[in-house]
Amino acid sequence: MPTPEVPPLQSPWTLAVLVAIVLLESAVLVGFAIFYAVELLAGNAETSPGGAAFTLVLLAAFGAWLASAGVFLWRGRRWPRSAALVAQLFALVIGVPTLTGGVVVLGLAIVVPAVAALFLLFDKRVLALTQGSGRRPGGAGRADGPEADTPDAGGTGAGRG
């Protein structure tokens, strides 16, 4: 049965909201990394300088990783869906105990976007765009398209024994 395709140049609103959530989460992580850097340089780190530096690097790296996932999600790539899924699960691991621990506003600020992103990750329009059926023009030859799932994408059989 044929499935309805997403118009090639038009991204679904669900993808736009998903990308916005992912990029906002990335910005928050980078913001915390900057906060850790300022506190570390001012000598006001709540933990040891080594622990604060490690946390700073971890937050910056995870923020950059999540930002790249958001950008490549917008481009219709497949791999960022799993990266975004892992990020949302991490957010829930942090947000639910925060929420049940009595810090309701912060807990909701973590849990609500994570749950929304989880639902949007599995929206049929987002799936169609990121699995190649709603491919944007100019995306030919990408390594993560449907042709990458076949053992011999070039059709030549070269290099096989």
Residue with tokens 């765009």, as numbered in its chain = 129
Q: Is the pLDDT of residue 90 over 90?
A: yes
* 3-state percent helix, strand, coil for the chain, nearest multiple of 5: 65, 0, 35
Higher per-residue pLDDT: 137 or 88: 88
Positive or negative, the Cα torsion across 79, 113, 86, 33? positive
Q: How far apart are CA 21 and CA 114, in angstroms?
A: 8
Q: Which of 127, 57, 132, 56 is nearest to 85 (CA)?
A: 127
pLDDT of residue 161: 42
Q: Is the pLDDT of residue 15 over 70?
A: yes
Q: Is the pLDDT of residue 153 over 60?
A: no
The separation between CA 36 and the C-alpha centre of its own chain, rounded to angstroms, equals 23
DSSP state of 158: T
Q: How far apart, in Å, do the first and last CA atoms of the chain sit?
A: 37
pLDDT of residue 4: 62
Is there a contact between 12 and 122 (Cβ–Cβ < 8 Å)? no
Mind listing the pLDDT tens digit for each residue in 36-83? 899 888 888 777 888 888 989 999 999 999 999 999 999 999 999 999
Tokens found for residue 71: 């950008």
Mind listing the pLDDT tens digit for each residue in 96-146? 999 999 999 999 999 999 999 999 999 999 999 988 754 554 444 444 444
Triad 57, 110, 39: Cα angle to 5°: 35
DSSP state of 149: G
pLDDT of residue 8: 54
